[in-house]
With several copies, the nearest count.
Chain A
């Protein structure tokens, strides 16, 4: 178990502030944040490549803050893989065991085993330069796993490969984590990736940790609007005041079952908003007449942006409804959503 206690680090104008977090045994932990927020610095602090100005790092309760990287056993896979260009794939993978003084026979067996797991047997005698992005990625993983790491640190490992390879490698990473029972710290700027992979996700904004939790927790109860926005959520509305379960938002009132005095923002999932061409009676407590302001086609699900007075909301509907309702920019439509669909922040 890795524990960071109030880690701080300053480089000129950049400052990492008071970072505390825990990575449990066998956990797939994702560090999610926009670029430039200090994720890589934090990773290098964990690896021992950068010394923090403040704070302590504990591994299974033991203070390892001043232990050099070669004695920590946390291996790093960098975004561009950082393969050793002057060595064959085989010798890249063997680098760690050789540095540890393993016997030639033991190294041979270890390389063979990892080559099988990661399906790189065919390329063991090639040089990194001649490999595709996906192959390089697997070699980098094999090299990192060859030392039998206590913790695997992955710095944006999927950002340099194309979409299809990325989907395949995601599964591979998760499989390694589960089968070899290695805890993983995975850095990414992509919320999708974090959701798909992370047992727990840590959202970092402005060099500070904002929220740690499972994907479900983050998406259902983001702790602040910044986090929600970063996660790509739409329909976050600031609330002026709340009275008896009704949120006052500029010139509109929205009924929200969960609203109380502490509510500052509400959030409505785009796919929980129903669009109709006529008003209708239903159990849903919120219904507004709107104008269609814009239609965006993301993949095959049209996102319809509607405005009602000063309030602007986006609804995600199926392509079929989109065609049946004949929605066009400027058309008058009704939106309907349940009071229980209104989430409070």
Chain B
């Protein structure tokens, strides 16, 4: 029937367009894996320099995430609950690191933690070229992801639950820890993992703040520049696999379970 075919056409066109998008995203990833002989990958995975950079990258990103969480999650609760003057400006400021080009962000960070900066002079030496400096760069570019995720998670907790808890005799801090935080935990956890992943993958800001010690994204760039494409791909594949593993963890373990509540 003509009308039946019409529905079919419409969805078919959409599905075709979708295939183009999927292909565009998947092709480079499949391409790089195909371009990397298994032997190269094995060699990279026992290369002490590579392993050390991976350890550094994971640790620096974790440090950045945990520190940001202690400060950022309670703040996200405030943003989700209170409608104070200038709130929308504060929300905009928090999003700034997302849209600022990361190489420019790296330069900007240098003015705060570099040789000539207040912090540089305070510590007697700059944070550039240190693990702390790397963590600061990672935190700067990825903290919006955590705060936004936590804010949305708190926002989806019905305020009536908190109000009911108040009338049952719980003070605000008790309500926060026994009601708001547990009910928002999935959203917050996925914000933490997202921030960690963004920290691990940061290149632009980190390469400017610290070329050494070398994080893995920087090492990929360095090997590409110094030794060519072949030398870079095996490290790139290794890092892509780690990121994809974290990502799968995020998707599979933190998916909201419909049956629970």
Contact B261 A75, beta carbon cutoff 8 Å: no
**Beta-carbon contacts under 8 Å, A69-107 to B:** 69-76, 78, 80, 82-86, 95-96, 99-100
Q: Nearest B residue to A64 by beta-carbon distance?
A: B1
Contact B160 A82, beta carbon cutoff 8 Å: yes
Which of B161, B168, B170, B179 is within 8 Å of A144, CB to CB?
A: B168
The answer to whether A70 and B163 touch (CB under 8 A), given A84-B179, A96-B168, A99-B170, is: no
Please tell me the size bucket of the interface on B: 20 to 34
What are the residues of chain A within 8 A of B121 when measuring CB–CB?
A: none
Please tell me the size bucket of the interface on A: 20 to 34
Interchain CA distance A135-B220 in the complex, whole Å: 60
What are the residues of chain A within 8 A of B163 when measuring CB–CB?
A: 44, 47, 49, 69, 76, 78, 82
What are the residues of chain B within 8 A of A76 when measuring CB–CB?
A: 163-164, 167
Q: What 1/0 flags go to B236-261 for Cβ under 8 Å of A? A: 00000000000000000000000011
Contact B160 A71, beta carbon cutoff 8 Å: no
Nearest-Cβ distance from residue A107 to partner chain B, whole angstroms: 13
Assess whether A33 is interfacial by the CB under 8 Å rule: no
The answer to whether A69 and B261 touch (CB under 8 A), given A78-B160, A85-B183, A86-B182, is: no
Q: Nearest B residue to A129 by beta-carbon distance?
A: B261
Q: Nearest B residue to A149 by beta-carbon distance?
A: B167
Contact B165 A95, beta carbon cutoff 8 Å: yes
Assess whether B87 is interfacial by the CB under 8 Å rule: no
Contact B261 A86, beta carbon cutoff 8 Å: yes
The answer to whether A78 and B169 touch (CB under 8 A), given A66-B1, A129-B261, is: no
Assess whether A143 is interfacial by the CB under 8 Å rule: yes
Nearest-Cβ distance from residue A130 to partner chain B, whole angstroms: 9
Contact A70 B169, beta carbon cutoff 8 Å: yes
Q: Which of B3-11, B134-142, B191-199 contacts A (4 or more CB under 8 A)?
A: B3-11
Assess whether A248 is interfacial by the CB under 8 Å rule: no
Contact B3 A68, beta carbon cutoff 8 Å: yes
Interchain CA distance A3-B170 in the complex, whole Å: 24
Nearest-Cβ distance from residue B10 to partner chain A, whole angstroms: 11
The answer to whether A71 and B3 touch (CB under 8 A), given A95-B165, A96-B168, A143-B168, is: yes
Interchain CA distance A127-B165 in the complex, whole Å: 17
Assess whether A252 is interfacial by the CB under 8 Å rule: no
Contact A47 B261, beta carbon cutoff 8 Å: no
What are the residues of chain B within 8 A of A147 when measuring CB–CB?
A: 168-169
Which of A68, A83, A143, A144 is within 8 Å of B166, CB to CB?
A: A68
Interchain CA distance A128-B158 in the complex, whole Å: 15
Contact B179 A96, beta carbon cutoff 8 Å: no
Interchain CA distance A82-B174 in the complex, whole Å: 17
What are the residues of chain A within 8 A of B158 when measuring CB–CB?
A: 82
Shortest Cβ-Cβ A-B pairs, 9 listed: A85-B261, A96-B168, A99-B170, A69-B166, A82-B160, A82-B164, A68-B3, A76-B167, A99-B169
| Interface contacts beyond A74-B167, A86-B261: sample of 4 additional A-B pairs, CB < 8 Å, sorted by A | A66-B1, A75-B164, A83-B161, A127-B260
Q: List 15 A-B contacts (CB under 8 A).
A: A47-B167, A49-B163, A67-B4, A69-B163, A72-B167, A78-B160, A82-B160, A84-B183, A86-B182, A95-B170, A95-B178, A99-B168, A100-B169, A144-B167, A144-B168
A residues contacting B by CB (< 8 A) are: 44, 47-49, 66-76, 78, 80, 82-86, 95-96, 99-100, 127-129, 143-144, 146-147, 153
